[in-house]
């Protein structure tokens, strides 16, 4: 390979999991197929990160992408909650923080679940052509106001996070797939979303060594394949550069002090945490000089490659530095010798039956149910009694009604209350002025959790004011909170002791069904009719 082709192997771009251009959900970040094919063939890119599409469609998509590449691709995905979190049809697991709730009661059981999560995620990812898990999140979420890590982390306690991190990696280890510990050196104690701005971690070295670093040390000891950098500043380690662009942090701390020998990958280079710090050209050069092997989602891969190329020819980056990353990438790809980048993926088709049999297996769904059930919390006077002679409202509050993937007419949060006489009303947090113009008895279901680009982890000031009016009005029958335990804690500080309530970490259909059946004392293990089973994804 010539120098530009070698640098191309260090680039991973965003791509749609859908096969057709008109299906792309984020065209600003996802190139059309003609451009993407040119990038993969002419620029010799090292890989792609996928989002969107069903699991079966992604299998075809991954084969298509591999067929365009001269060198087998790394195909990555952010699947921290199982493959079904991103690609419909596969198993959707509870958010990782659910395991810490179990760990406080039974650490051995939580560790077992974490290992099973790693295994299920790895097996299903490989089945659809993904060979790189951008998981697990090993940040210690010790800031309740963290808007972006939140329940994506395994918990608030460094020791528990370390144990569950290790177990997840060990669960995935038998499979030909890469795991990723993120976001180094720890994104848990910030109230700023690095997708939007550059957070600052003000702690001293003793605190960082005691709290933030142990999960990464455990992950490295467990054999994690890659470590993702965080877009944040840590003045005690580097007063000038954020971690992603810091030689002191990526090379000095991660490589030399912690002894990590695998791939170092940046977090997405389109995120506000670094785009506000440096230009696209500067970011690529600084990240490589800092020690990154993979530049994830640069705004334009051609600009990134050319910038690094010019830096090498001018002497700002040594060619030896490029060779070091290239050798790590080649070694990593040679290790993925099975299903994901083998010769069979160069073909146009795949064995539909063998692929589908590996997805959402009965045992995987059973484990997903067990995790949700064992982390469920309840209180008040349960079960909620249904009075058929009263007008009833099922009030569902979400972050964004238009962009809500877990609710439709067949979702348990809508279908089960409807069978019990509750008429649905779906609103987002910014439209809650309407909720107190209704005198019907109300079941309140709140779907709020930390997510990238939200900028906040919890309830808006308007939502808090409207909920308080609802509590005072006296027509609230019951409450279900899906997602954030911090949101749950606020509600518990406000409601009457006898109000029946249920909290579950997940927001998917499986979690909805368990929450509703718990609230109304329905048979949790009762089999649903086959036509509903298919809709719910069980």
Of 267, 293, 345, 428, catalytic: 267
Q: For residue 448, give every residue at least 6 positions away whose Cβ sits within 8 Å of its Cβ, in sequence order, or none.
A: 397, 398, 399, 429, 458, 459, 481, 482, 483, 484, 487
* C-alpha to C-alpha distance for 355 and 348, rounded to whole angstroms: 15
First to last CA, the chain: 48
Of 78, 183, 187, 195, catalytic: 195
Question: In degrees rounded to 5, what are phi and psi of residue 485?
Answer: -65, -20
In the chain, DSSP finds a helix count (H) and a strand count (E) of: 20, 14
Tell me the β-bridge partners of 446: 397, 481
Q: Which two structure tokens, joined as six digits, stand for 147?
A: 């808007």
* C-alpha to C-alpha distance for 377 and 485, rounded to whole angstroms: 10
- Considering only CA atoms, which of 265, 82, 290 is closest in space to residue 182? 265
* C-alpha to C-alpha distance for 417 and 408, rounded to whole angstroms: 13
User: Cis link prior to 136 (omega < 30° from 0)?
Assistant: yes
Contact indicator for 449, 507 with CB cutoff of 8 Å: yes
Tell me the β-bridge partners of 90: none
* C-alpha to C-alpha distance for 179 and 70, rounded to whole angstroms: 24
* C-alpha to C-alpha distance for 114 and 171, rounded to whole angstroms: 8
Question: In degrees rounded to 5, what are phi and psi of residue 167?
Answer: -65, -40
What's the DSSP call for residue 253?
A: I
* C-alpha to C-alpha distance for 13 and 297, rounded to whole angstroms: 5
- Considering only CA atoms, which of 492, 317, 313, 467 is closest in space to residue 395? 467
Active site residue 267: yes
User: CA-based angle 323:346:75, to the nearest 5?
Assistant: 50
Question: In degrees rounded to 5, what are phi and psi of residue 376?
Answer: -70, 140
* Residue numbers annotated as active site: 195, 267
């Amino acid at each position: 390979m010539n120098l530009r082709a070698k640098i191309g192997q260090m680039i991973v771009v965003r791509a749609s999991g859908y096969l057709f251009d008109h299906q792309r959900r984020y065209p600003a970040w996802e190139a059309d197929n003609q451009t993407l094919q040119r990038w993969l063939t002419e620029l010799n890119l090292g890989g792609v990160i996928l989002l969107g599409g069903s699991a079966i469609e992604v299998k075809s998509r991954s084969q298509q992408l591999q067929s365009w590449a001269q060198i087998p691709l790394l195909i990555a995905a952010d699947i921290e909650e199982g493959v079904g979190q991103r690609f419909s049809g596969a198993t959707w697991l509870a958010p990782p923080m659910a395991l810490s709730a179990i760990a406080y009661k039974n650490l051995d059981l939580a560790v077992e679940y974490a290992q099973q999560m790693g295994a299920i995620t790895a097996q299903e990812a490989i089945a659809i052509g993904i060979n790189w898990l951008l998981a697990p999140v090993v940040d210690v979420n010790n800031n309740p106001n963290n808007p972006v890590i939140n329940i994506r982390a395994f918990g608030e306690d460094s020791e528990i996070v370390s144990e569950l991190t290790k177990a997840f990696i060990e669960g995935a280890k038998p499979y030909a797939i890469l795991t990723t510990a993120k976001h180094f050196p720890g994104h848990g104690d910030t109230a700023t979303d690095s997708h939007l701005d550059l957070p600052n971690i003000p702690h001293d070295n003793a605190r960082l060594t005691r709290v933030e670093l142990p999960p990464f040390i455990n992950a490295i000891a467990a054999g994690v394949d890659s470590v993702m950098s965080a877009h944040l500043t840590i003045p005690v380690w580097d007063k000038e550069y954020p971690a992603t662009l810091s030689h002191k942090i990526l090379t000095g701390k991660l490589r030399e002090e912690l002894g990590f020998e695998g791939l170092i990958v940046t977090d997405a280079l389109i995120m506000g945490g670094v785009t506000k710090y440096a230009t696209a050209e500067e970011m690529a050069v600084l990240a490589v000089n800092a020690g990154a092997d993979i530049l994830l989602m640069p705004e334009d891969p051609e600009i990134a490659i050319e910038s690094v190329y010019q830096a090498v020819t001018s002497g700002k980056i040594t060619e030896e530095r490029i060779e070091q990353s290239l050798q790590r990438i080649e070694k990593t790809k040679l290790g993925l010798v099975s299903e994901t980048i083998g010769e069979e993926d160069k073909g146009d088709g795949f064995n539909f039956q063998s692929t589908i049999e590996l997805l959402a297996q009965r045992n995987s769904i059973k484990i997903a149910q067990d995790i949700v059930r064992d982390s469920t919390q309840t209180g008040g006077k349960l079960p909620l009694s249904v009075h058929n002679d009263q007008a009833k409202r099922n009030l569902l509050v979400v972050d964004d009604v238009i962009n809500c993937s877990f609710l439709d007419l067949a979702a348990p949060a809508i279908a089960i209350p409807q069978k019990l006489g509750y008429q649905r009303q779906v609103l987002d947090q910014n439209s809650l002025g309407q909720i107190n113009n209704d005198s019907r008895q109300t079941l309140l279901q709140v779907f709020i959790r930390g997510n990238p680009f939200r900028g906040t982890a919890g309830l808006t000031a308007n939502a808090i004011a409207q909920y308080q009016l609802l509590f005072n009005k006296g027509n609230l029958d019951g409450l279900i909170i899906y997602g954030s335990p911090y949101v749950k804690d606020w509600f518990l500080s406000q409601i009457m002791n006898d109000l029946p309530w249920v909290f579950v970490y997940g927001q998917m259909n499986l979690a909805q069904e368990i929450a509703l059946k718990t609230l109304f004392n329905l048979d949790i293990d009762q089999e649903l009719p086959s036509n509903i089973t298919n809709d719910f994804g069980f």
